[in-house]
Amino acid sequence: TGVGSITVRTYDLPEGVKADNARLILSGLFPSDTTEVKQMDSGVSVVSRSTPRVVVMAAPVGNRLIVRASISDHAMVTQALAAMK
């Protein structure tokens, strides 16, 4: 999982990459479902959550993305966008 402070950044997309397509790809690369298992005195507790670790939105103007993520996840977003060139 991503670690560190959560920040919001904008990314200009490479030539030929559409914001909606990039958003779908990034959303698929960062799954939001997590399962936590805890040992308790009375047995085992299993909790499932669906909290997005990376939030990706297409900017309303220009071919850009607005991304909310941890610092380490932003590094992976940068790598993924570079791979789309």
The stretch 2-20 carries a mean pLDDT of 87
Angle at 39 between CA 33 and CA 44, to 5 degrees: 70
> Is the entire prediction scored with pTM above 0.75?
no
The stretch 32-45 carries a mean pLDDT of 75
Q: pLDDT grade, residue 38 (50/70/90)?
A: confident
List helix spans (H) across 1-85: 19-29, 71-83
Q: pLDDT grade, residue 11 (50/70/90)?
A: very high
Q: pLDDT grade, residue 42 (50/70/90)?
A: confident
pLDDT of 4: 58
